[in-house]
Amino acid sequence: MRVRPQVPGGIQRRLLLLLLLPLLGLALLNTWFDYRLADSAAIQQDRQLLTLVPQLADAVQHGPTDAALNLNLSADLRDFMGSRGARGAYAILNEEGHVVAGEEWLRDYPPDTHEPEFSSQELRGVVYRIVTQRVNTSMGEFTVRLADGASPTWQRLRRLWIKVLLPNVLLAVLAYAAVQWAVRRALRPLLAVKEAVQGRSPRDLSALALDAIPEEVQPLVVALNHLFGLVNDQAESQRRFVADAAHQLRTPLAALQAQVEALAALPAAARGEPLQRLRDATRRTSQLVQQLLTLSRVEAAGALVAPTATAELKTLCEDVLELHLEAATLRHIDFGLEVVPVSVRGDAWLLREMLSNLVDNAIRYSHSGGCVTVRCGLAEDRLGAWLVVEDDGPGVPASEWPNILRRFYRSAGSGGDGSGLGLAIADEIAHAHHSQLLLGTGPNGRGLSVRVPLQAVPESPKQGPTDHD
């Protein structure tokens, strides 16, 4: 059974609330206004009835006999009754509450006081607003009742929930259904993106198509495509690293095995030179493994260089000098520094690895008795810094400069026992710091010079150069 993916509840709920709450608020506001209007109309109706009560009392006059009662309605009363038609009524009640003039259905007990009393009464589907008051007339004390059922405002007040609340509730329900349908339809592209991502194989890191994607969703899809690209590049780099490592380790390990087997077959007295070769091969293999691990760490940490990290180039150069001084001395190489205190943006460990690989490469391929120099300084605009490693060895033809930065590449006829990873590691670290290795010719047109531009920290102090030999 296929489970249907749900619309992202958070977005849907927010949209529904943001769209329906204003509608509900408007409906409640409309109900309140309608209620206030109906209430105001009822007050106006009560006031009109109250002003007509004295006129109805004055209309009571003696008839032909003392017991007879005659009504002489004023012009206002006649207009009121004429405008109301069958919905206007009055009654004159005696002290016993019997109707002596007017409508019999208005019969009621006289009030206890002379204050006017208002009430409502429904008759034949019409709600009447009635005012009742004890009054003194020319024929004595009577109770007058005046009813108005012509205005629909009071009926609207009484039936507010039917005429106002019910339509608004129905409108809110219909609006909820319509808005929910519209929201689901509008969020369908998000569901399509979700299904496209959820249904992918872990190895499928191709970009999502932007066709039929709404403009508001496109930035999300573009960001996902960018993330897929980064992950794909990293995965490809790891696959390439594993393939290169397996290829590079196969030959040294096979050679080690052959040398061990040959050494085991020799008598003890004849094992001196083969044992030395075995030690050299083991050292080279160990160095290769160390460089491979370093390359893997550089690739993993390169994208995580903090933009606020700083490193002191002079300190790094002095550390690298101490690290490689013994190797330079064994080859009778003049290894020196020309450095000034310069702070740069970058990771100190990565920059130390870069400089160490550049120095190791220079010492390894320089001739015995040569010269290797490390320099660092501040650019003239004081916004940039530079780091240079140069030697006076045989150098590399300019046509091969782009190739020597590739992994495991060694130029034809190059000496030394390197594996072709030193410059590749240094180049990887330079790119992690938004820089690159600039290759050139060494001093006096001999050897190789590698220059790395870096971003300087503005507060770096400016001091004179110091020499270390």
- Token pair of 374 as six digits: 């490390």
398 and 286 co-located in one domain = no
Whether 160 contacts 169, CB under 8 Å: no
What is the helix (H) or strand (E) element at residue 110, kind and residue range?
none
Contacts within 8 Å (CB) and 24+ apart, 161-168:
164/30, 164/31, 164/34, 164/35, 165/31, 168/27, 168/28, 168/30, 168/31
> Is residue 52 classed as helix, strand or coil in its secondary structure?
helix
Whether 252 contacts 281, CB under 8 Å: yes
Q: Give the chain's domain count.
A: 3
Question: Distance (Å, rounded) from C-alpha 20 to C-alpha 173?
Answer: 10
Domain containing residue 381: 306-468
- Token pair of 352 as six digits: 């130390």
* pLDDT score, position 223: 84
324 and 299 co-located in one domain = no
* pLDDT score, position 312: 93
**The residue to which tokens 């490390």 are assigned:** 374
> For 25, left (φ over 0), alpha (ψ -120 to 50), or beta?
alpha
What's at 50, amino acid-wise? L
Question: Distance (Å, rounded) from C-alpha 172 to C-alpha 180?
Answer: 12
300 and 315 co-located in one domain = no
371 and 449 co-located in one domain = yes
CATH number at residue 91: 3.30.450
- Among 279, 304, 329, give the residue marking a domain's end: 304
Strand-pairing partners, residue 70, are 61
Domain assignment present for 173: no
Query: What is the value of pTM for the model shown?
Result: 0.45
Q: Is the dihedral of CA 78, 83, 85, 88 positive or negative?
A: negative
312 and 450 co-located in one domain = yes
313 and 429 co-located in one domain = yes
Considering only CA atoms, which of 371, 403, 405 is closest in space to residue 389? 371
Note the helical H segments in 60-215: 75-84, 153-158, 160, 166-186, 188-198
Question: Distance (Å, rounded) from C-alpha 155 to C-alpha 163?
Answer: 10
Whether 367 contacts 386, CB under 8 Å: no
For 85-99, give the DSSP string.
GGGEEEEEE-TTS-E
215 and 236 co-located in one domain = yes
Question: Distance (Å, rounded) from C-alpha 245 to C-alpha 239?
Answer: 10
**pLDDT per residue rounded down to tens, the chain (469 residues):** 444 444 444 566 666 676 677 777 776 776 666 665 555 566 777 787 888 888 888 888 876 665 667 788 888 888 888 777 777 888 888 888 888 888 888 888 888 888 888 888 888 878 788 889 888 888 888 898 988 876 555 455 555 555 566 677 777 778 777 777 877 777 777 777 777 777 777 677 777 777 767 776 778 788 888 888 777 777 776 666 666 666 556 556 666 666 666 666 667 666 666 666 666 666 666 656 666 666 666 655 555 555 667 899 999 999 999 988 988 998 899 999 999 999 998 888 889 888 988 998 888 888 888 999 999 999 888 788 999 999 988 888 888 888 777 766 666 555 555 556 778 878 888 888 889 999 998 888 888 999 999 998 876 444 555 555 5
214 and 264 co-located in one domain = yes
CATH number at residue 375: 3.30.565.10
- Token pair of 345 as six digits: 């943006």
Q: What are phi and psi of 398, to 5 degrees?
A: -60, -25
280 and 319 co-located in one domain = no
Q: Is the dihedral of CA 218, 224, 229, 232 positive or negative?
A: negative
Domain assignment present for 453: yes
**The residue to which tokens 């006059």 are assigned:** 61
